[in-house]
Amino acid sequence: MLFGEVAFLQRFARARAAGFEGVEFPFPYDQPAPTIAEQLAEHRLAPVLHNLPPGDWANGERGIACLPDRRAEFRDGVGLALEYARALGCPRLNCLAGAAPGLARGVAFDTLVENLAFAASALGEAGVQLLVEPINTRDMPGFFLNTSQQALDLIAAVGSANLWLQYDVYHMQVMQGDLARDIERCLPRVAHVQIADNPGRHEPGTGEIHYPFVLRHLDRLGYTGWVGCEYVPATTTEAGLGWLAAYR
């Protein structure tokens, strides 16, 4: 994770010093929202995105939205995430579907549809976008949502205008490739893009994905949203930012 080598509240100053104008973070809930808001204001950073609470992350949970016996907890998490989004001025929240070992896929899918419909409505009333993200099965074995088509089918099943796709180029390269065509196909429902190279999930330029083409392709298609750097720096964050020079 970008700036993952330093404590959370120290990352805002580092991000601004490195030239970033916006930041995303997975889970802000260990810090009071006013404290985070102070950091954003002090360093003139836009809050771009954070995730709904994922369940017990430390013990391996990667979301609870597809688990039928966790519906009440999920709804409580939507409320908490919305409190933070309002306090921080964050315009979009991402939902991790989670894993459902031993659960019939149809039951997990129906639960996910129900939970996303609830969250999309609650967030929509507050002017906050809800996103879902497919994640590769190598990094998260058993994760319920793995491909862009699964995500589009899920969005169609929910039927809400306030449910969007978070398109992580790294995950989609691992799972399916054919990135240029897939990005073009998905773009009408894409509200946020994340990048990392493959293999290793390091910064662009360290692997097989030709990011000069991918980023130009996003421009050609008319994408105007944020591109989040969700990668593990090969050494330190600052040392790995050389790839950005061509885009500034």
CA angle, residues 99, 103, 104, in degrees to nearest 5: 120
Average pLDDT of the chain is 96
**Residue 239 near residue 205 (C-beta atoms within 8 A):** no
Q: Is 61 a catalytic residue?
A: no
pLDDT score recorded for residue 3: 65
For residue 173, what pLDDT band results from cuts at 50, 70 and 90?
Answer: very high
> What band does 5 get if pLDDT is binned at 50, 70 and 90?
confident
Name the DSSP letter for residue 65.
T
CB 34 within 8 A of CB 86: no
Q: At which residue do the structure tokens 């330093």 appear?
A: 6
Catalytic: which of 38, 83, 125, 133? 133
Report the C-alpha gap between 160 and 154 in whole angstroms. 10
8-243: CATH superfamily: Divalent-metal-dependent TIM barrel enzymes (3.20.20.150)
Tell me the per-residue pLDDT of 120-160, one tens digit each, with 9 for 90 and over: 999 999 999 999 999 999 999 999 999 999 999 999 999 99
The pLDDT score that the predictor gives to residue 246 is 84
The active-site residue out of 83, 203, 230, 238 is 230
Q: Is 242 left (phi over 0), alpha (psi -120 to 50) or beta?
A: alpha
How far, in Å, CA of 36 to CA of 180, rounded? 36
Which residue, among 205, 136, 208, has the nearest Cα to 176 in the 3D structure?
136
Sheet with 163-168, edge to edge strand ranges: 22-24, 46-51, 92-95, 129-132, 163-168, 190-195, 227-229
Q: Are 129 and 121 in contact (CB under 8 A)?
A: no
pLDDT score for 17: 95
Name the residue ranges covered by the structural domains of the chain.
Answer: 8-243
CA 123/CA 130 separation, integer angstroms: 7
Mapped onto helix, strand or coil, the DSSP state of residue 99 is strand
Q: What is the pLDDT of residue 113?
A: 98
Dihedral sign for Cα 104, 97, 133, 131, please. Answer: positive
Whether 230 is catalytic: yes
d(CA 162, CA 84): 19
Residue 201 has pLDDT above 80, yes or no: yes
Euclidean distance between CA atoms 95 and 116, whole angstroms: 8
pLDDT at 1 over 80: no
pLDDT tens for each residue of 72-112: 999 999 999 999 999 999 999 999 999 999 999 999 999 99
> Which stretches of the chain are assigned E, i.e. beta strand?
22-24, 46-51, 92-95, 129-132, 163-168, 190-195, 227-229
Q: Check residue 150 and give its pLDDT.
A: 98
Q: What is the pLDDT of residue 2?
A: 67
| Neighbouring C-beta atoms of residue 23, cutoff 10 Å | 26
Mean pLDDT of 48-61: 97
pLDDT confidence of 4, banded at 50, 70, 90? low
Q: Where are the beta strands (DSSP E) in 123-226?
A: 129-132, 163-168, 190-195
What pLDDT is recorded for position 35?
Answer: 98
**pLDDT value, residue 6:** 86
Q: What percent of the chain has pLDDT over 90?
A: 94
